[in-house]
Amino acid sequence: MMDSRKIEDYLSLKSHYNNSSLLLEGADKVRVLNLQKVSGGVTNNLYSFLLKFSKKGIEHQLNLILKTYPEPTSLWFKTYRPNEDVRKYVREFEAMSSLERHNFPVPHVYLCECDPFFLGYPFVIMQQEKIMQGSDNKLVHFPATLAHLHNLKVDEIGIKSLAYPKDASAFAEEWPFRFKHVIGETRHYRSLKKDFEYAIRWLEADSVNNRCPQYCLVHGEYHPGHTIVTGDNILKVIDWEGVAIGDPAFDVGYTYHMVKLMSNRK
């Protein structure tokens, strides 16, 4: 159970040492209110809260999201990306920070805490957006936003935790190992073992022919549930744990599958 007092103590400490962009230097009367669990996934928990603090007698408040990262990094990740920072919270924080600087629509991130000492897990704190329900803007901008991402110049974005695959076939070559890991570690997929084994055999035999002509930044899990339309009618992309430099065809295929799986005919 997340404790609001621990968050208050952590933020007060950060303010005291002036190494947080979240609180103004010299802020006091730090209070965390309305803390509640928003969602819990396989690997993460999300909490929303209202942060209030004072500066020279003036009260400030922010609506925030805290995301925890309890799952250790997968073996395949360490094996196939030895030159990258494989910590999901670092990758997500750096990606969102860099993308915002380049005017790509993501929520603002304030801080990334890698030390599990404070709350029990590493975590990221970001802005909580006001969400507009039922907007047709998502239908219009959902595919265009993915295309925008794939057309960004990776070198200019400068996400330090990511690295280019070693050659044009490397991104395809890592997938048989990833599938084998999924089959071995996740019971949910064991009923689909034959399908996975077919895909593995095909990839192992044909990965050399699955060359990517131009790597780009890929989201890794782009689907409607990982986009929101904000109160000012802007579509923003969330959940960047799977971000990588890879083949844009992966994002397109994953998105097409997830739209068919999750969405209605419209």
Point out which residues pair with 33 in neighbouring strands: 50
Helices (H) and strands (E) in the chain, counts: 9, 9
Residue 149 neighbours by CB under 8 Å, 6+ apart: 104, 216, 217, 218, 219, 222, 237, 251
Higher pLDDT, residue 73 or 14: 14
Q: How many Cβ atoms from other residues are within 10 Å of residue 72's Cβ?
A: 12
Residue 18 pLDDT:
58
Mean confidence (pLDDT) of the chain: 87
Contact 77, 136 (CB under 8 A): no
Mean pLDDT of 164-181: 88
Residue 190 pLDDT:
65
Q: How far, in Å, CA of 151 to CA of 80, rounded?
A: 25
Residue 41 pLDDT:
62
Mean pLDDT of 175-188: 76
Beta-sheet strands, E only, within the chain: 28-40, 45-55, 58-68, 109-113, 123-127, 216-218, 227-229, 235-237, 244-246
Point out which residues pair with 109 in neighbouring strands: 126
Closest CA to 33 of 54, 55, 63, 13: 63
Mean pLDDT of 97-113: 96
Residue 129 pLDDT:
92
Q: How far, in Å, CA of 85 to CA of 91, rounded?
A: 7
Percent of the chain predicted with pLDDT > 70: 88
Q: Considering the entire predicted model, what is its pTM?
A: 0.90
Higher pLDDT, residue 259 or 182: 259
Confidence grade of residue 20 (pLDDT, cut at 50, 70, 90): low
Confidence grade of residue 44 (pLDDT, cut at 50, 70, 90): confident
Contact 231, 130 (CB under 8 A): yes
Closest CA to 224 of 210, 240, 235, 211: 235
Closest CA to 236 of 112, 136, 100: 100
Establish how many alpha carbons lie within 13 A of residue 199's alpha carbon, considering only the half-sphere containing its beta carbon: 16
Residue 40 pLDDT:
65
Residue 135 pLDDT:
67
Higher pLDDT, residue 263 or 178: 178
Neighbour-count burial for 30-52, b at 16+ CB within 10 Å, e otherwise? bbbeebeeeeeeeebbbbebebe
**Residues comprising the chain, all counted:** 266
Q: How many Cβ atoms from other residues are within 10 Å of residue 193's Cβ?
A: 10
